[in-house]
Amino acid sequence: MKEQLSESKIKYLLEHLGHHARIPEDLFSRFRFGATPEEGLALIYFPLSDLELDLPKLIYIDQIPILYPLERKQEASYSMQGNTLVFHHDILKSAFHLLSGYEEYQSEDADLYGRFPFTSSLQHSLGIVERPIVNYYFDIILKGLEEFCSINKISFQRDPVFNQPILMLSHDIDTINAYHFFATGHKFKMLLGLAPSHYDLLGKFKVAFTSLYHLLNPFSRKNPFWNFDFLRKTVSDRGFLSTFYFLEKDGKYPNSRYHFHKKKVRKLIRELCVSNFEVGLHGTIQSSFDQHAMDRTLKHLQAVAPEPVIGIRQHYLKYRIPTTTRIQEEAGLQYDTTLGFAEHEGFRNSYCWPFRLYDFENEKAAGIWEIPLSAMDATLLGYRKLNFYQCKESIENMVQEVEKFNGIFALLWHNTFFDEDRYPGITEFYLKLLDYLRNEGLKGITGREIIERIESHTIEELD
């Protein structure tokens, strides 16, 4: 990004900053962007850089990388020069680069599933994926404003949307039948070496013939994937709520194998809503690039859900900027919670609060909120192949970062991810993880409530 931030890009960032503190008009009128500081004036100067990102030249202040430094010898982010506040580096452009989706927007890199790869990201190259760097940038700005207002006797206080850390626990419902015909067939493919498997030979025999037994036995009622009472109870017992994203069978694509209109599924969706859990859409693979596919499956879910469906997570975390953003907006959805890296837990846009991507074509904030995904079961145990101790350590490190900013820790745990054969002790680990999050004081709420809170704060700010 070579050019200076435009007025619309600066406005975009200040809107997000406003979720952390209300900036009165008297204070905002003192902001100067790109101007040369003048001593003796009670003004606030933000420098604007027209330089491209140059990784060898970035600097670190208090272990936080500044992507667009302007004074290499300046080791402070800002200083008070009399009653004037001067920021020494382009903190705004650094924040915009990470938050807006700029890197993904201008990149053509894609993995096997068409996703922006973690290895192509700045979070990977700088080793910052587990730190919400944009939150640190905003904190630098707010500390500067607090000092300025104290010296100039201007009333100012932080008024964040969230005054405690939030847990957004969710479950992607890809599959509801562990012993479906196709699932059983896949297990025999694994046994015959025709499909990849994590099991040893004995394990392959066990899962294949167990699946066959339950498939053929008309009296068998065992189905470990239909564990919704367990999911609800373990969450409710800890004072949490969670969000369930349902995935519809749609043509020949590798999505789910159930339909929303089936009696059993309809009943489950109603029960969840009555119990104050949220029901959202798990967008099919084709819905990430096909408007008709998105509209069709959302219509089908809305037809059986007693409440408006406002949230989505794309299957396989398949999301491309700006295509998927526009499709979700056009469908009328209010938030998405896809944006995390499948290959590594952490903060894909270096932010642990809800945010909007930037619409580069129309030079404004996108019309749909993002609740960034922090960690997924398949990332920790599948892609990364961590053991339980390593999973716990990584999660605790991220939660500590979230707690610094009263942010959101968004955890995805599939209803199918309780395989004791593949991961002995997985259920106990999950329960201990929920206990840890409760004991840390995280408030477990749904995506719907998160969006209601931040939109209410934004409306009040406009009034």
131 and 246: one domain? no
Cα distance between residue 181 and residue 245, in whole Å: 23
The answer to whether 85 and 147 are in contact (CB under 8 A) is yes
**pLDDT at residue 421 is higher than 60:** yes
Say if 347 falls within a structural domain: yes
293 and 419: one domain? yes
For residue 272, the model assigns a pLDDT of 97
Min mean pLDDT across 52-61, 111-120, 154-163, 175-184 is at: 175-184
Say if 250 falls within a structural domain: yes
81 and 128: one domain? yes
142 and 243: one domain? no
Say if 314 falls within a structural domain: yes
Q: Is 114 left (phi over 0), alpha (psi -120 to 50) or beta?
A: left
For residue 462, the model assigns a pLDDT of 43
Say if 22 falls within a structural domain: yes
Cα distance between residue 303 and residue 312, in whole Å: 16
Q: What is the mean pLDDT of residues 190-198?
A: 61
Say if 15 falls within a structural domain: yes
In the chain, the percentage of residues whose pLDDT exceeds 90 is 79
145 and 172: one domain? no
Say if 200 falls within a structural domain: no
Segments forming the whole domain that contains residue 312: 166-178+223-462
Q: What is the mean pLDDT of residues 126-139?
A: 98
Domain count, the chain: 2
Q: What are 257-312's pLDDT values in tens digits?
A: 899 999 999 999 999 999 999 999 999 999 999 999 999 999 999 999 999 999 99
Backbone angles phi, psi at 281, to 5 degrees: -100, 130
**pLDDT at residue 209 is higher than 60:** no
Of residues 126 and 193, more confidence is placed in: 126
CATH number, domain containing residue 386: 3.20.20.370
For residue 60, the model assigns a pLDDT of 93
267 and 320: one domain? yes
Say if 218 falls within a structural domain: no
Backbone angles phi, psi at 146, to 5 degrees: -60, -45
**pLDDT at residue 337 is higher than 90:** yes
97 and 170: one domain? no
What string of DSSP letters covers 358-390? EETTTTEEEEEEE----EEHIIIIIIS---HHH
111 and 173: one domain? no
> The tokens 């020494």 sit on which residue?
88
134 and 173: one domain? no
260 and 141: one domain? no
144 and 243: one domain? no
**pLDDT at residue 221 is higher than 80:** no
For residue 248, the model assigns a pLDDT of 94
Say if 292 falls within a structural domain: yes
Quote the mean pLDDT of the chain: 91
Q: What are 28-42's pLDDT values in tens digits?
A: 999 999 988 888 889
356 and 445: one domain? yes
Cα distance between residue 440 and residue 310, in whole Å: 29
